[in-house]
């Protein structure tokens, strides 16, 4: 069961990384963008690490305060949940 959860976590983070990179590409090419709601949804369902990495590498959405606040809150919720989960195991 742990392997399945880990595989899903890796997959969603990989997918989030790609989606954020794709949105940056669309921004550069002035094409239709991926909505912020969809970007946040990827982070919310577990892709917060991939999203954050993509934001850092491609310098995407890092100057928009409202986006960063929401993203930071999602990350905080996930970090607290992970810490709580691992404290329950030990």
- The tens digit of pLDDT for each residue in 16-43 reads 999 999 999 999 999 999 999 999 999 9
Task: Look up the domain containing 36 and give its range.
Answer: 2-89
Take residue 40 and report the two structure tokens written for it. 């946040």
Is 76 a residue whose pLDDT tops 90? yes
Tell me the pTM. 0.90
Q: How many domains does the chain have?
A: 1
Interatomic CA distance for residues 39 and 3, integer angstroms: 26
For residue 61, how many other CB atoms are within 10 A of its CB? 19
């Amino acid at each position: 069961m742990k392997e399945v959860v880990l595989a899903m976590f890796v997959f969603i983070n990989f997918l989030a990384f790609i989606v954020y990179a794709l949105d940056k590409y669309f921004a550069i090419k002035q094409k239709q963008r991926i909505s912020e709601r969809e970007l946040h949804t990827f982070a919310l369902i577990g892709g917060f690490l991939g999203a954050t990495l993509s934001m850092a590498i491609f310098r995407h959405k890092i100057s928009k305060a409202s986006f960063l606040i929401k993203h930071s809150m999602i990350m905080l919720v996930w970090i607290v949940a992970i810490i709580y989960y691992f404290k329950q195991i030990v």
